[in-house]
Amino acid sequence: MAGVSKGTVDRVLHNRGNVSEKARLAVKKVLEKVDYKPNIHISAISLKRRYKIIVTTPEISIGAYWESIHNGIRHAMQEYENVKIDLQVFTYNQYDIYSCRQTFEKIAEFDMDALIIGPTFPEETIHLCKRMDEKEIPYVFVDSTIDSTSPLAFFSADHYVCGYMMAKLITSIIPSHTNIAIFQAVRTGDKSANTTILRKKGFTDFLEQNGFLNLILTIPFSVTSPEDNEMYLSRLFKTHKEVPAIVVLNSRGNYIADYIEANHIKGVKMVCMDLTAANVEALKKGQIDYLIGQEPEYQGFCAMKTLLEHLIIKEPVTKENYVQLDIITRENVAFYKHFGNIMF
């Protein structure tokens, strides 16, 4: 159809050069006309090579947010089972900057074909990405993206918008001029997560832009030392007799919900992040009013799929990929599913 040899078509498809501009344009025109899609499975078999891909994210626990991202990554590998992949996973404690730093330094020394990064701390991530750039190793972000880096792509919620939405939701269900307690996780190294910084900015911007004068109480809570939470929470409710609103900026809203239930505290409205198993249970009980979902399984799936298509068939990549944000209540949570069609 293009009036050129098979060899010329092959060179155009695989970007091998030695093709005149006229021939290249003729082939491209036919490819568009027939809506050509490369078969990644056949390409992988024909290349007969093995790809080493490393994944580094915060630690995984059953029913939690990061498990969902890893489920998506595994699902993509099942979809492309003919591709030979050596996958290595390195996790770190997202509440400890030194754990992240040590893990990233170890990864930077390895040889690999590509890297998937679930970033938490910006400076540590930038340092790792510079090493990848020096080695010309492509990397993809999941969960968030970091300024001053050059990822092949990222798959993430817009965390500023998350915070903005959380403010809009909580102010719609509480009386005006009342206290709002924002819970942030305590992290060793005294650094906030990138996502938390962006969400808090979106939250406060909404209040300022819409003239809300609510008193904002920033409250710490600990995932690594949960015994400290009793102190933080009891201090909050003793100091402020009426705390009608609570916002949790990460996926651990169930920690606060459990305390409220155990201490028989009534009338508190809560907006939290993520459809973790524990958060969904609290939502069903009415302890959490709204959850914001950010499609973690989809993020993981697309990150791995994008890397494989880039490595094998040099498929063009869209760099910025923001996932949809879902507002989930106890009334609609039954319609949401994990990857693999496991119903909550």
Please choose, from the candidates 92, 91, 95, 90, the residue with its C-alpha nearest in 3D space to the C-alpha of residue 112: 90
Q: Give a yes or no: residue 135 inside a domain.
A: yes
The counts of H helices and E strands in the chain are 12, 12
If asked whether residues 64 and 139 sit together in one domain, one would say: yes
Do 270 and 304 lie in one domain? The reply is: no
- Number of structural domains in the chain: 3
The pLDDT of residue 34 is 81
189 and 268 assigned to the same domain: yes
Tokens 């710490």 correspond to 220
Q: Are 100 and 121 in contact (CB under 8 A)?
A: yes
Q: Which two tokens stand for residue 76?
A: 């993509």
Average pLDDT over residues 305-324: 91
Residue 304 lies in a domain: yes
Q: Tens digit of pLDDT for each residue in 108-141?
A: 999 999 999 999 999 999 999 999 999 999 999 9
Mean pLDDT of 273-284: 94
Q: Does 301 share its domain with 288?
A: no
Tell whether the model's pLDDT for residue 312 goes beyond 80: yes
Q: Which residues pair with 90 in a beta bridge?
A: 56
| pLDDT tens digit sequence for 46-99 | 567 899 999 999 999 998 999 999 999 999 998 888 889 999 999 999 989 999
Predicted pLDDT at 41: 62
Do 124 and 70 reside in the same domain of the chain?
yes
pLDDT value of position 46: 53
Amino acid at position 179, single letter: N
300 and 151 in one domain?
yes
125 and 51 both lie in a single domain: yes
First-to-last alpha carbon distance for the chain, in angstroms, is 52
Check whether residue 127 and residue 195 sit in a common domain.
Answer: no
Q: Same structural domain for residues 276 and 240?
A: yes
Q: H-type helices in the chain, by residue range?
A: 6-13, 21-33, 40-47, 65-79, 97-108, 122-135, 159-172, 194-209, 227-239, 253-262, 277-285, 296-313
On whether residue 342 sits in a domain, the answer given is no
Question: Mind listing the pLDDT tens digit for each residue in 241-270?
Answer: 677 899 999 898 998 999 889 989 888 999
Are 92 and 152 within one domain? yes
- Containing domain of residue 234, as a range? 159-293
Output the domain CATH number for residue 287.
Answer: 3.40.50.2300
